[in-house]
Amino acid sequence: MNKKSTNVVWAQTLITRQDREILNGHKSFVLWFTGLSGSGKSTLAHAVEKKLHERGCRTFVLDGDNVRHGLSSNLRFSDDDRRENIRRIGEASKLMTEAGIITLTAFISPFRADREMVRGLFPHGEFVEVFCSASLEVCEGRDVKGLYKKARAGEIKNYTGIDSPYEAPVNPEITLATGVNSINSSVNLVIDNLKERGLMCDF
């Protein structure tokens, strides 16, 4: 990205992120769900959020479909626009974690380099990539929004998995086999993994 802002200085704060984490009683970090459309990203992000919320954590979900109605409403689905979409979400997630919030994001985020760019915004260990692994057949079979059908018919161009690529993570922190596992077992797997990483108090 071309940085165009000049003559700006970083403003110091009196309250630090650590102060906020102590007040909240938990660490803040980002859980970055990635996968094909229909692979279960949103469903799982919201289900994990519910579990964390019930246990007293401060959380927020940034969801692809919602963000594209506002923050990214001027972007389409070209490679460049997807990159800019992910950059914005990455920066928004960083602000939210600075505010002490456990941030869950649900975007296809199809390009490895873009996800790595976001990872680079965070201190080591605070970007947790969650790969929702389901085959195109499974996702297309679900076709909750009817968009795969439209893409096959040529009514939507650059549809991920059809005529635009999805680059699976090479070494994600968590892989969820969302084509076969139940929502509940995937949620438990995420929570257990977070405990192992020391990202949660032991409830």
Name the residues that contact ligand ADX, by CB under 6 A: 37, 64-65, 68, 77, 82, 85-86, 107-110, 145, 147, 156, 158-160, 164
- Closest to ligand ADX by CB, 28 or 109: 109
- Closest to ligand ADX by CB, 68 or 94: 68
Tell me the closest approach of the beta carbon of residue 129 to ligand ADX, in angstroms: 14
- Closest to ligand ADX by CB, 57 or 62: 62
Residue type (1 letter), 91: E
Residues annotated as catalytic are 109
Element (H, E) at 131: strand 127-132
Gap between the Cα atoms of 156 and 152, Å rounded: 8
Tell me the closest approach of the beta carbon of residue 145 to ligand ADX, in angstroms: 5
- CA 17, chain centre distance (Å): 21
Inter-residue contact 201 to 195 (CB < 8 Å): no
Tell me the closest approach of the beta carbon of residue 68 to ligand ADX, in angstroms: 5
Tell me the closest approach of the beta carbon of residue 51 to ligand ADX, in angstroms: 22
- Closest to ligand ADX by CB, 21 or 81: 81
And the tokens for 26? 């938990």
Among the listed residues 72, 87, 96, 83, the one whose alpha carbon sits nearest the alpha carbon of residue 119 = 87
Among the listed residues 112, 162, 119, the one whose alpha carbon sits nearest the alpha carbon of residue 137 = 162
